[in-house]
Every structure is written in C-alpha cells, then in structure tokens.
Amino acid sequence: MADKQAGAVAILGVFVADVAFRASRQPKMGETLIGSEFTLGPGGKGSNQAVAAARLCIDVTFISKLGKDAFADLALDTWRAEGVRTAVTQVDDDYTGAAYIFIEDNTGENAIIVCPGAAMTISADLVENERDAISNADVFITQLEQPVAAAQRGLGIARNAGTATILNPAPAGPVDDAIFPLCDFVTPNESETEGLTGLPVTNVDEARKAADVFLEMGVGTALITLGEAGALFHNREVSEHIPAYRVAPVVETTGAGDAFNGGFAAALARGIEPLEAARFGCAVAGISVTRPGTAPSMPTLQEAEKVFRP
C-alpha cells in the first residue's frame, strides 16, 4: 500500500442530469399537476459520490461514459469545478443520461426514474483500460447504474491490487453471486437490501438478519443505510447501529445515500478505521439532507468536521 497515492478514491459510475420537480404529490396517470419548483443540475450516483469525496479534499478519479450534448457539458463543467479527475469516454451515437426526480413538498422524500444513456454501454473492457487509476487508489467504489459486468471487473481489479472495495448496489437488480466476495463493503439501503437478500428491513434487528446473508455471500462488511434511523455496520466481529446526524430540518433526501457513500469512501482513503468512517459518512449525509439538490448538497470537509462526533 505504500506506493499508493495518499487519500485517493477511484469511482466507476454514471452521470445523469437531474431534472427535479417539487409538488405536493405525484400525479396520477392522465393527470396534470402544478408543481412548486423545478431545477436542473448534475446527478447520477457515481458522479454525486465523486463530488462528495472531492469536496472532502480527496483525490478522486471518476470513470464513466457520456454523449456529446448539453448534459455532457454540464457533467464536464461540474467535475472541473469540483476538482474531480476524469477518465471519461464520449460518444457521438448516444445521449448523456438524465433522471426524473419527484420531490414531495411536505416530507422531502423522493421518487426517481433514471435513463443512463451512454453510460449503459460502459463495458468491462472500458474499465480494464482504467486499471491503473483503480489500482493506484486507496478505495474503489461502484454502483449498479452501469452494467453489472463493468462493476464486477472494476471490483476485481481493485481486489487484486489491494485497493479497498465498496459496492453500492443501487439500484438493486440481478447480480452474479461472484460479485459479493470481491466486496470489502456493501452499502445498500433498506429496499436494496430486501431486493438482494429477500429479507424485509423495517428495523435494526431485521437489518442484522439481512446483513448476515451478505456475509454468507462473501461480503466483508455489510453497511445498511436506514434513512432517518442512520445505518447498521455489521461484520463477523462488530455489529453496531449508527444513529443519523440531525443537523437541521430535512429539505430533500435525494442525495443522502450518495453523500454517505462519498463520505465513507473519503474517510477510508484517509486511513480512518471502517466503523469511524461509517460514522463520518452519516455526518456527511446528515448535512446533505438539509439542502436541495444532489451534487450541490454535498458538504465541504470543514462543514463535515464541524458536525462529526466520533
């Protein structure tokens, strides 16, 4: 590990332009509602996580694929402004991804439809071409918005290099069982956990039972995020419920999972032991939900350290 960059994170994932609508409720089929607010901004789980880690003063390389259009310009401008290194392929024959986000006015809860566009053609070979960026990082993180084969190749490269591996299995979907032994950490939310384990997660005790299934699959540590209840950190040595950080009233929860993952990866890359890194991730998420947007809601290192309580 001595030859690795200090505090480096490599992220394989998707950029999408977040097209967000706020209203009192979602419309029924055939119905039109007047909304209260509209915003267009940078999003995508991987890109959001890259912004989160970069704002925490970590050296971040983001691996992805874009079209050549206005949304691609938004992506490149965002990463440039945030200091994210890019290993990004652009193509003429596909579009840059977009996401419809509905946000409920009263609660800040959300519902999302993602169309990844060009990022859905990220291949295992494309990831192989970025082997050095993954191998030279302290932490590698990926999700399931791009093809699973690409995620699995990235995790395999990282594992062989001794890089810590995080799979944020979102959105949950069919995966090869061989992916789980490549994961030092998995970071699903309640619904993703149920989708992957078949077990419901409505409280901490149920989360522990589901976390045991992940361990049986070969995962090192299951880190199940529980919304306003915080997160469960569970492996064969430790099982600890981490309460959520309540910094201010909740405005929007859309980017909370990405804030957690970016914060957790950043802390690991700094050499913080995993349980404390998970607590730090909860602090980062606790700040993000007090602000609108996804990438724009991510806090700086100074802001996170101000509220983080080890």
Per-residue pLDDT of the chain (310 residues; tens, 9 = 90+): 334 445 999 999 999 998 999 999 999 999 999 999 999 999 999 999 999 999 999 999 999 999 999 999 999 999 999 999 999 999 999 999 999 999 999 988 888 898 989 999 999 999 999 999 999 999 999 999 999 999 999 999 999 999 999 999 999 888 999 999 999 999 999 999 999 999 999 999 999 999 999 999 999 999 999 999 999 999 999 999 999 999 899 888 888 999 999 999 999 999 999 999 999 999 999 999 999 888 889 999 999 999 997 6
- Rounded CA gap, 87 and 64, in Å? 7
Domain-located, residue 278: yes
DSSP class per residue in 84-121: -EEEEEE-SSSPEEEEEEEEETTT--EEEEEEEEGGGG
Q: How far apart are CA 219 and CA 112, in angstroms?
A: 28
Q: Quick check: is 32 in a domain?
A: no
In a domain, 221, yes or no: yes
Residue 111 lies in a domain: no
> Please, what sign has the CA dihedral across residues 141, 144, 146, 148?
positive
Instruction: Give first-to-last CA distance, the chain, whole Å.
Output: 26
* 258 belongs to the catalytic site: yes
Residue 290: domain span: 8-13+45-93+119-307
Distance, in Å, from the CA atom of 291 to the CA atom of 303, rounded to the nearest integer, reads: 13
* CATH number, residue 139: 3.40.1190.20
- Residues making up the chain, counted from first to last: 310
Domain tally for the chain? 1
Q: Is residue 21 part of a domain?
A: no
Helices (H), 113-236: 124-128, 131-135, 148-161, 190-197, 204-217
Catalytic residue among 59, 138, 184, 258: 258
Domain assignment of residue 300, yes or no: yes
Whether residue 272 lies inside any domain: the answer is yes
Residue 145 lies in a domain: yes
Whole-structure pTM value: 0.92
Tokens (6 digits) for 292: 């609108």
